[in-house]
Amino acid sequence: MDYGTGRRGEFPIEKAGFHCVRAACGLVLSALVAGTALFGQQKSLPQAQKPVQVQVEMVHLYATVRDKHGRLVPNLTQSDLQVFEDGQPQKIAYFSKEMNLPLTLAMLIDTSGSQQNILGAEQETAKEFLQQILTPKDLALVISFDLDVNLLADFTNTGSILDQAIDGAKINAAGPPPLVSNGPFPTNGKIIGTDFYDAVYLACHEKLAGQAGRKAIVALTDAQDYGSQETMDDAIEAAQRADTVIEVLLTVDRGFYGFGDYRGGSVAERMARETGGRVLRVSSGKDLQKAFATLSGELRGQYVIGYYPTNAARDGSYRKIKVESTNKQYRVLTRDGYYAPSE
């Protein structure tokens, strides 16, 4: 699809004021799998016998483990977890509960008409959340979305900048130059547009893909999309490719929708499930505080798992991942899969 002047994947970054802050680094294992040379041999080996270099990139996962009562399980060891890719067991090469890895957050705030009775409480609690969770190593950005998707604050850990950006989120108000603007489109009654899928896609594709460490989208929304150019599948794929968890604080004003066709709950559940996140349903300011406290604990309490897949094909295919605990009463939450690199 086309955002302004760029084809999909070629969004005009300079125009939007985008810039990458930290380059992501990959862990690569190189193995010689064919051919040997005789000791002291001077001549080159025949072409068919030259060593072939196969690169297998480490797949890294961030996993949250809870017991049957929903409490975080903090003291597992590597032997307590098992990883499967497309049903095949994988050997864990790296395991840690590292609390100091950088955390990069994209705060997405729904400023469509359906949030007009909730936005104030969301803003105050969101500011408190960022103040509590961010350390000097971490970064956050703020995006609002309604008819447009607007970058209110680029990556920073300066509290005053983030607070000002969150306070600047207004219901369907003109703001900074939008990341994407759909222009006029048919409306349904008083529902006038919520570009949720576009906001997730752009946050992942243009911003989070270039970051290292733990990455998460925290979306305050009812997840009812109207008018996005990207689809839900596009948004999920962008998050998976960027190794980004989608956490949804589902804030639904039932009075706004009345007896209308509301489907945002199932949308939020799927986007969170397929990226390793959760949906926390919120109906009051007290619920918001509780939800943000839960997110803070989970994002800082994840296990870091790395493995080199037994399937070394660089075919760009989607690989399903499952992580299980040897204790069957524990539930492990991580992303559903990843896209293999392609040649």
- The Cα–Cα gap between 123 and 129 comes to 10
Arithmetic mean of pLDDT, 160-166: 97
Do 87 and 164 lie in one domain? The reply is: no
Which of 90-99, 179-188, 330-339 shows the lowest mean pLDDT across its residues? 179-188
Do 316 and 216 lie in one domain? The reply is: no
- The Cα–Cα gap between 72 and 66 comes to 4
Arithmetic mean of pLDDT, 114-118: 87
- Tell me the pLDDT of the chain averaged across its residues: 80
* pLDDT tier at 60, thresholds 50, 70, 90: very high
Do 133 and 111 lie in one domain? The reply is: yes
- The Cα–Cα gap between 104 and 230 comes to 23
* pLDDT the model gives residue 153: 97
CB neighbour class for 231 (10 Å; exposed up to 12, middle 13-18, buried from 19): middle
**What is the residue range of 185's domain?**
100-300
260 pLDDT more than 80: no
* pLDDT the model gives residue 114: 86
Residues 17/143, Cβ–Cβ less than 8 Å: no
DSSP state of 44: P
> H or E stretch including 32?
strand 28-32
Rg of the chain on CA atoms, in Å: 22
> H or E stretch including 220?
strand 214-221
For 186, the token pair is 């048919």
Inside any domain, residue 95: yes
* pLDDT the model gives residue 191: 46
Considering only residues 272 and 15, tell me which one the structure prediction assigns the higher pLDDT: 272
Inside any domain, residue 3: no
For 315, the token pair is 């075919």
CB neighbour class for 161 (10 Å; exposed up to 12, middle 13-18, buried from 19): middle
Residues 298/276, Cβ–Cβ less than 8 Å: no
Please, what's the b/e burial string for 94-110 (b: 16 or more CB within 10 A of its CB; e: otherwise)?
A: ebeeeeebebbbbbbbb
Do 194 and 313 lie in one domain? The reply is: no
Among 10-24, 77-91, 114-128, which range has the highest average pLDDT? Answer: 77-91
- The count of other CB atoms within 10 Å of the CB of residue 151 is 23
pLDDT in tens, 177-233: 444 444 333 333 444 568 999 999 999 999 999 998 889 999 999 999 988 999 999
> H or E stretch including 304?
strand 303-307
Inside any domain, residue 7: no
Among 43-52, 54-63, 163-172, 180-189, which range has the highest average pLDDT? Answer: 163-172
Considering only residues 54 and 309, tell me which one the structure prediction assigns the higher pLDDT: 309
Any residues with CB less than 8 A from the CB of 105 and at least 6 apart, and which? 130, 133, 134, 138, 139, 140, 141, 215, 216, 217, 218
* pLDDT tier at 4, thresholds 50, 70, 90: very low
For 275, the token pair is 């990226």
- The Cα–Cα gap between 26 and 63 comes to 19
Residues 326/82, Cβ–Cβ less than 8 Å: yes
* pLDDT the model gives residue 29: 26
Which of 161-165, 170-174, 191-195 shows the lowest mean pLDDT across its residues? 191-195
* pLDDT the model gives residue 172: 81
Do 169 and 120 lie in one domain? The reply is: yes
Total structural domains within the chain? 2
Q: What is the CATH number of the domain that holds 56?
A: 2.60.40
* pLDDT the model gives residue 123: 92
Q: pTM to 2 decimals?
A: 0.77
Arithmetic mean of pLDDT, 327-335: 94
Inside any domain, residue 314: yes
pLDDT in tens, 270-299: 999 999 999 999 877 788 888 888 888 888
Any residues with CB less than 8 A from the CB of 245 and at least 6 apart, and which? 62, 215, 216, 217, 239, 275, 276, 277, 335
240 pLDDT more than 80: yes
- The Cα–Cα gap between 193 and 68 comes to 39
What share of the chain in percent tops pLDDT 70? Answer: 76
Do 294 and 307 lie in one domain? The reply is: no
Do 75 and 214 lie in one domain? The reply is: no
Mark out the alpha helices in the chain (DSSP H runs): 13-16, 119-133, 159-167, 196-202, 232-241, 254-257, 264-275, 285-300
Do 195 and 185 lie in one domain? The reply is: yes
* pLDDT the model gives residue 16: 40
Inside any domain, residue 88: yes
Do 283 and 317 lie in one domain? The reply is: no
* pLDDT the model gives residue 226: 87
247 pLDDT more than 60: yes
- The count of other CB atoms within 10 Å of the CB of residue 78 is 12
Q: What is the CATH number of the domain that holds 289?
A: 3.40.50.410
* pLDDT the model gives residue 274: 94
Considering only residues 224 and 84, tell me which one the structure prediction assigns the higher pLDDT: 84
Inside any domain, residue 19: no
* pLDDT tier at 173, thresholds 50, 70, 90: low
Do 222 and 151 lie in one domain? The reply is: yes
- The Cα–Cα gap between 278 and 275 comes to 9
Mark out the alpha helices in 137-223 (DSSP H runs): 159-167, 196-202
Sign of the C-alpha dihedral, residues 130, 133, 139, 141?
negative
Do 257 and 313 lie in one domain? The reply is: no
Do 182 and 274 lie in one domain? The reply is: yes
Inside any domain, residue 207: yes
Inside any domain, residue 326: yes
